[in-house]
């Protein structure tokens, strides 16, 4: 009886001791987790957890949700990004469909090259999880790892229907840890069976320019193109003249995207400005009123670009066919006309009634962008012809005179 009473006392005395030398505290786990997204089956997704081991090996634990009971899903680390594709670098064993779990430990690639946990964090690779050993072409989950992991920073640009084609969508760029970009074009209205070339061009869509980058062709069945953007290829296969480009550089790039009908027919079906040329959504429209020629009137609209410049669009109704109509911004207001010419537009085409241009500065180099235009003390004149500048077909105040 006394032993029963004394023993707890001894145990309590031992537990209250300040001597912790005999207590084992396991080291904190060093690990990194990557996301594995759905591919063939939207209900299957998960994670890949990379764990650093004391012997410099690495354990990779795959945990998927939504895997079918009884399924056995081979998994591998591949070279390159998922968008590019690549050979198998490391075998990750097989995910058990009943649990969605697999675990494998390694310290070398399949080719025998040693690799550490820290090297894996900068590895140029991605993970594929397949439906089965006999259906390796069907992917149930996939994710970029190492330097290819996405940071979460993305930028989307609108790709508009070009002249009534009915094809439109977006181009989305997502930043990777290494500074490169995942490039995804997603279009609606593409014809089934079509393959649509697409490129980034230099300059604005209005100005046009040479090819700077070639996307993977857009699949007409899905409307999708998925690729990796790391260099500008300038539309050729000569890698010696390629120039590196990062996600951050792309956000400031002077360019636009064209999507074409086919390799044999480069008719543009969708188009949009990107980078510094993106339209912000800020616009200002002014009326251009009928003057010396009855029935002719219209508008001028200025749209702000990301770099502060302006897209200018003059749209005049009832201009005579084949007419060419000079147009200018003049100083002052209509009430105090005539004023000196401040800016000269491209002539208005009588067949379309249109004149489009980009405005960023005056002829003397003075900055003259969107903000300067909507605050300018000025007005617009549209003339009958270069030989009849005294005949005004449309006129209207702009900027501070509106």
SS3 119: helix
Q: What is the mean pLDDT of each run of 10 residues along the chain (402 residues)?
A: 40 48 74 98 98 97 97 98 98 98 98 98 99 96 99 98 97 99 99 98 98 98 98 95 98 99 97 98 98 97 99 98 97 95 98 98 96 98 97 98 92
Confirm whether 150-275 and 279-399 share one CATH topology.
yes
**Strands of 279-290's sheet in order across:** 324-325, 348-349, 354-359, 310-317, 297-305, 279-290, 388-399, 377-385, 327-331, 341-344
- What is the pLDDT at residue 11? 42
CA distance 313 to 356: 5
For 250-279, the pLDDT digits (tens) are 999 999 999 999 999 999 999 999 999 999
* Residues 130 and 140 sit within 8 Å (Cβ to Cβ): yes
Residue pair 111/101 in contact (Cβ under 8 Å)? The answer is: no
pLDDT of residue 10: 39
* pLDDT confidence of residue 351: 97
CA proximity to 75, closest of 58, 59, 88, 57:
88
How far is it, in rounded angstroms, from Cα 192 to Cα 69? 35
CA gap 228, 218 in Å, rounded: 14
Place of tokens 């046009």: 208
Specify the pTM. 0.88
What does the domain layout of the chain look like in residue ranges?
31-146, 150-275, 279-399
DSSP string, 202-261: ES-TTT---EEEEPPPEETTTTEEEEEE-EE-TTSS-GGG-EE--HHHHHT-EEEEEEES
> For the stretch 124-158, what's the b/e string if a residue is b when 16 or more beta carbons lie within 10 angstroms of its beta carbon?
bbbbbbbbeeeeeeebbbbbbbbbbbbeeeebebb
CATH architecture for residues 31-146:
Sandwich (2.60)
Residues 353, 305 contacting (CB under 8 angstroms): no
Per CATH, the number for 150-275 is: 2.60.40.200
Residues 276, 2: Cα–Cα separation, whole Å: 87
Q: Tell me what pLDDT residue 3 has.
A: 39
pLDDT given for residue 23 in this prediction: 76
Asked whether 191 and 235 are in contact (CB, 8 A), the reply is no
Q: Is 147 left (phi over 0), alpha (psi -120 to 50) or beta?
A: alpha
Q: What topology does CATH give the domain 279-399?
A: Immunoglobulin-like (2.60.40)
Helices (H), 52-205: 117-120
């Amino acid at each position: 009886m006394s032993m029963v009473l004394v023993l707890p006392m001894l145990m309590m005395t031992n537990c209250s001791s300040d001597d912790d030398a005999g207590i084992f505290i396991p080291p904190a786990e060093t690990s990194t987790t990557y996301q594995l997204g759905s591919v063939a089956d939207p209900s299957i997704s998960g994670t890949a957890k990379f764990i650093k081991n004391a012997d410099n090996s690495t354990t990779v634990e795959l945990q998927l949700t939504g895997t079918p009971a009884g399924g056995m899903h081979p998994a591998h680390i591949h070279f390159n990004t998922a968008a590019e594709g690549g050979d198998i670098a490391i075998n990750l064993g097989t995910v058990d469909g009943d649990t969605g779990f697999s675990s494998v430990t390694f310290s070398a690639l399949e080719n025998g090259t040693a690799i550490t946990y820290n090297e894996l964090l900068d590895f140029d690779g991605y993970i594929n999880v397949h439906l089965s050993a006999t259906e390796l072409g069907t992917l149930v989950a996939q994710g970029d790892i190492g330097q290819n992991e996405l940071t979460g920073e993305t930028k989307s640009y609108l790709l508009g229907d070009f002249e009534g084609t009915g094809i439109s969508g977006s181009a989305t760029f997502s930043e990777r840890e290494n500074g490169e970009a995942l490039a995804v074009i997603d279009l609606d209205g593409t014809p089934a069976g079509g393959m649509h070339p697409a490129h980034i061009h230099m300059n604005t869509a209005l100005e046009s320019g040479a090819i700077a980058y070639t996307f993977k062709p857009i699949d007409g069945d899905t409307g999708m193109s998925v690729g990796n953007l790391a260099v500008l290829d300038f539309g050729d296969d000569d890698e010696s003249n390629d120039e590196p480009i990062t996600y951050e550089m792309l956000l400031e790039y002077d360019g636009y995207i064209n999507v074409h009908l086919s390799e044999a027919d480069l008719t543009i079906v969708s188009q949009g400005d990107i980078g510094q040329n993106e339209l912000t959504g800020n616009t200002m429209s002014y009326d251009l009123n009928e003057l010396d020629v009855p029935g002719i009137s219209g508008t001028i609209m200025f749209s702000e670009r990301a770099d502060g410049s302006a897209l200018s669009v003059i749209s005049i109704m009832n201009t005579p066919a084949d007419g060419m109509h000079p147009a200018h911004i003049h100083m002052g207001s209509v009430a105090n006309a005539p004023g000196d010419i401040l800016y000269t537009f491209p002539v208005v085409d009588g067949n379309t009634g249109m004149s489009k241009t980009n405005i960023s500065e005056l002829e003397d180099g003075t900055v003259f962008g969107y903000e300067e235009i909507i605050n300018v003390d000025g007005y617009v004149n549209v003339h009958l012809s270069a030989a009849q500048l005294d005949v005004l077909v449309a006129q209207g105040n702009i900027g501070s005179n509106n």
